[in-house]
Structure 1
Amino acid sequence: MNTDDLISRLSQDVPPVSRRAVGWRLGIGMALGGLVSVALVALVLGIRPDLGLAMRGTAFWIKWSYTFSLAVAAVVMVVQLARPDSARLRWAWLLVVPVSLLAILGVAELARTPPGEWLAMWLGHSWMICPWLVLALAMPIFVGLLWSFRRLAPTRLRAAGAAAGLAAGAFAATVYCMHCPEVSAIFVLTWYSLGILLAASLGALLGPRLLRW
C-alpha cells in the first residue's frame, strides 16, 4: 500500500470536528483549574475583608484589568499553539499593551510620590510571598490546561508549555486579587508579573516532557 492509499483509508468516515472544539477544550480545563484556585483563595488564604469597598475604587480595577488582559492575550497564544499548524504566532504583541500601560501608570505614580516613599510603595507588605502565591495558585489552572492538551496536537511543545504557564499565571494573579490588598501599580507590575513569569518559565521547562504525544 502506498502512502496516498494509506492516507485515503485513514481519512474515511472521520467525523467533522467543530471549529470551537479547541476553545471549548481549553476553556473547560481552565475553568476546572480556576475553580480550584478560587477555592484555595477562599478557604486557605482568605478573601480580603474590604473587597466590596476596594471594588468601588479604580486601583482594584486597574490591577484586575492588568492581570485579566494578560490572561486573555496568553489564551490567544495557547489556542494557536494547541494546533499543529502554529509556525507563526499572531497577536503575541498584545502582551506588550497591558505591561506598557501599567508601566506608564507606575511612573506617574512615582512622580507624584515623595522619593522617600518609593521603596515602601514598590515592596508593599507582601513582596516576598506574592510571586510564590501567584505561582502556587497557577498550578491547578496549569494542570487543567495540560489535561486539555492531551486531546489536542501541539507541535511546539516548549512554546505551548510556556504559553500555558503564562495563561495559568495571569489567571491565578486575577484570582489572587481577591486576597491581596496591595494597590500600587509599581508593586503589581513587579511582583505580580514575577509570579506570572515564574509560571511561564515552569511551563516552558515542563512542556517538552508533559505535552509530547
Structure 2
Amino acid sequence: MKTDDLIRGLASDTRRERSLESGLGLALGVGLAGGAALFVLILAPRAGMPWLLAEPRVLLKFAVTLSLAAASVWLALRLVRPGADARILAWSLLIPAGALAGGVAAELMVTPARSWMPGLIGHNAAYCLVLVTLMAAPVLAAALLGLKRGAPEHPALAGAAAGALAGSLGAALYALHCVDDSPLFVLAWYGLAIGFVTAAGALIGRRMLSW
C-alpha cells in the first residue's frame, strides 16, 4: 500500500469514529429530551431542589448515577467497534460502585440499626422501579439507534452498556423528584431499576446491533 493511501485510510477511519460519537451524542440529546418530557408530565422536582444538593446523601444519588452514565457511554462507544478491548475501560465502572459502597458503609456506621430497614424500603420503591424504567426507555431507544452504525463483536454487551447508560440517566432524572435519600434505597431500588434496563438493552441490542 502506498503511503498516501494509508494516510487517507487512517483519516477516513478517524472521521467515522467522530461521526459515531457525534451521532450517539445527538441521539442521547433526543432521548434525554424524551425522558425529561415524561418527567415534566408525570413528576415535579422535589421541594428544595437544587439547594438539597448540598446534602451528602442527595448528592450521592447524582454522583452514582451520572458517573455510571459517563462510564457506560465510554464503554458503549468502545464495544461497538470491532476488535476493541474494553476490559480496561470496564474498570471505570468501579467509580460509581465504589462511591455507592462508600455511601452505604457510611450509612451503616452513622445510623442506628433500627433505621436500616426503613431506609432500605423507603416510601416509593415501586414508583422508583416503574418511573426510572419509564424515563430510561426513550434514552435506551435513542442510544441503541445511535450505536447502530457501529460493528460490535458482542452486540449483547454493547446493548447492555447502552442499557446501563439509559438506566442511570433515567435514575438521575427520577432523583430530582425522589425523597428517599438512604444509600441503602439507592443500592436496592435504583440498582434494580438500572439492572432491569441493562438487561433489556442486552436483549434488544443482541438483535438490533448485530451485523
TM-score band by shorter chain is: 0.7 to 0.9
SS in 2 for 1:179: coil
Partner of 1:39: 37
Structure 2: distance between partners of 1:132 and 1:154 = 30
Structure 2: distance between partners of 1:115 and 1:149 = 45
**1:171 is the counterpart of 2:151:** no
Partner of 2:141: 143
Structure 1: distance between partners of 2:99 and 2:161 = 21
Structure 1's 22 and 89: CA in aligned 2 closer, same or farther, altered over 3 A? farther
Structure 2 segments unaligned to the other structure (5+ residues):
1-7
Structure 2: distance between partners of 1:141 and 1:104 = 28
SS in 1 for 2:181: coil
**Number of corresponding residues:** 203
Partner of 2:57: 59
Structure 1's 92 and 206: CA in aligned 2 closer, same or farther, altered over 3 A? same
| Offset, 1:150 | 2.7
Letter in 2 for 1:207: G
| Residues 198-209 of structure 1 mapped to structure 2, 5 A cutoff | 198-209=196-207
| Offset, 1:34 | 0.6
Structure with bigger gyration radius? 1
Q: Aligned match of 2:118 in 93, 106, 120?
A: 120
Q: Does the aligned pair in 2 maintain the 1:80–1:89 contact within 8 Å?
A: no
Letter in 1 for 2:54: R
| Offset, 1:80 | 0.2
Q: RMSD of the TM alignment (CA)?
A: 2.2
SS in 1 for 2:126: coil
Structure 2: distance between partners of 1:88 and 1:30 = 21
**1:131 is the counterpart of 2:141:** no
Q: Aligned match of 2:109 in 104, 108, 111?
A: 111
Structure 1: distance between partners of 2:55 and 2:99 = 18
Structure 1: distance between partners of 2:108 and 2:180 = 15
| Offset, 1:180 | 1.0
| Offset, 1:154 | 2.2
**1:90 is the counterpart of 2:88:** yes
Structure 2: distance between partners of 1:155 and 1:109 = 41
Q: Does the aligned pair in 1 maintain the 2:148–2:208 contact within 8 Å?
A: no
TM-score normalised by length of structure 2: 0.87
TM-score normalised by length of structure 1: 0.87
- Percent identity over the alignment? 34
| Offset, 1:52 | 3.0
Structure 1's 88 and 103: CA in aligned 2 closer, same or farther, altered over 3 A? closer
| Residues 20-39 of structure 1 mapped to structure 2, 5 A cutoff | 20-39=18-37
Structure 1: distance between partners of 2:100 and 2:147 = 32
